[in-house]
A and B are shown apart, each in its own frame.
Chain A
């Protein structure tokens, strides 16, 4: 059973602070990792993808990957109330004889307090 684990939260940070979201995955064969943002009552939206060890920055978002520790994180700098959402971590793996699949974590609920 391929799993992606996230702290469900809720995580609360004050406006302007750095929000840190963490994720671990069980399949060492996973090659691609994604962070999706899901507002309440809405569908998931891809915000970051990362494929190699290290950091990847995109605006206020930084994704970090450590394959040796099977750990992925998302940092949100200068957090805004509009960042309040559930953040889903996903890892891609290929079951034997099947197409590549995404396994999702259950999500971390983030609240940014004004």
Chain B
């Protein structure tokens, strides 16, 4: 079992669909993150959860809604997305958000919005 697992690996959705991305970490970490990676652009931090509490929301549109039921699981709920939201969405975890060192990434969900 890999440290951070994400499902699905690929997702194609229409602009009116609702879908969810799932992330699970098996490393005993206390912090989890959502990042967006677009072609030729730096990784963009979207959300940070530390001990299940959201500590960061980097001006992400409300059509992205995170959920963290416990320290091991993280979801990203998607609704009424736009074509420019097509990207690789990466989940990561670290021991603690206060140190935010040594992020471990999942394999990502490649999202295409039609």
Q: A96 at the A/B interface (Cβ < 8 Å)?
A: no
User: CB distance A49 to B45 under 8 Å?
Assistant: no
Q: How large is the interface on B (under 10, 10 to 19, 20 to 34, 35 or more residues)?
A: 20 to 34
Residues facing B in A55-107 (CB within 8 A) are 88, 92, 98-107
- CB-defined interface of B80-114 with A at 8 Å, one 1/0 digit per residue? 00000000001000000111111111111000000
Mostly, the B contact residues are: loop
User: CB distance B98 to A102 under 8 Å?
Assistant: no
Write out the residue numbers on chain A whose beta carbons fall within 8 Å of the beta carbon of B31.
Answer: 99
Partner of B56, one of A42, A98, A106, A107: A98
Q: How many residues of A contact B (CB 8 A)?
A: 22
Partner of B42, one of A43, A49, A103: A103
Q: B27 at the A/B interface (Cβ < 8 Å)?
A: no
Chain A residue at smallest Cβ distance from B2: A43
User: CB distance B97 to A99 under 8 Å?
Assistant: yes
Residues facing A in B32-78 (CB within 8 A) are 40-43, 45, 48, 50, 55-56
Write out the residue numbers on chain A whose beta carbons fall within 8 Å of the beta carbon of B42.
Answer: 4, 103-107
Write out the residue numbers on chain A whose beta carbons fall within 8 Å of the beta carbon of B101.
Answer: 32, 34, 49, 92, 100
User: CB distance A101 to B105 under 8 Å?
Assistant: no
User: CB distance B108 to A100 under 8 Å?
Assistant: no
Q: A8 at the A/B interface (Cβ < 8 Å)?
A: yes
Q: A43-B108, A44-B43 are in contact. Are A92 and B100 (CB under 8 A)?
A: yes
Write out the residue numbers on chain A whose beta carbons fall within 8 Å of the beta carbon of B103.
Answer: 44, 46, 102
Chain B residue at smallest Cβ distance from A88: B43
A105 to B41 CA separation, bound complex (whole angstroms): 8
**A93 CB, min distance to chain B CBs, angstroms:** 9
User: CB distance B100 to A42 under 8 Å?
Assistant: no
CB-defined A-B contacts under 8 Å, sample of 27? A8-B40, A32-B101, A34-B102, A42-B107, A43-B106, A43-B107, A43-B108, A44-B90, A44-B103, A44-B105, A45-B105, A49-B102, A98-B56, A99-B55, A99-B97, A100-B97, A100-B99, A100-B100, A101-B45, A101-B56, A102-B45, A102-B103, A104-B42, A105-B42, A106-B40, A106-B42, A107-B42
